[in-house]
Amino acid sequence: MFGLGLPELFLILIIALLFFGAGRLPEFARALGQSVRGFKEETAKRDAPKEKNITPPKDEA
């Protein structure tokens, strides 16, 4: 994951805890999770095949 190991992730978590405080960290994580979820939903919509309402041609024979 981005070339980060477990020690680096712990260091980032500790810095975030010091920067935001223990009270605001869950709020920040929730907002980050909602942003990631929204991003995934939008990319899934973009990558999904688009349905077209096309009727097959009728035989004129």
Residue by residue, DSSP assigns the chain as -TT--HHHHHHHHHHHHHHH-TTTHHHHHHHHHHHHHHHHHHHHHHHSPPP---PPPPP--
Rounded to an integer, the average pLDDT of 3-12 is 86
Q: What is the pLDDT of residue 40?
A: 92
Within the chain, strands assigned E span none
Report the pLDDT value the prediction gives residue 30, as an integer from 0 to 100: 92
Question: What pLDDT is attached to residue 39?
Answer: 92
Task: Say what the pLDDT of residue 9 is.
Answer: 84
Q: What is the pLDDT of residue 46?
A: 81
- 23-54 pLDDT, tens digit each: 888 888 899 899 999 999 998 888 776 666 66
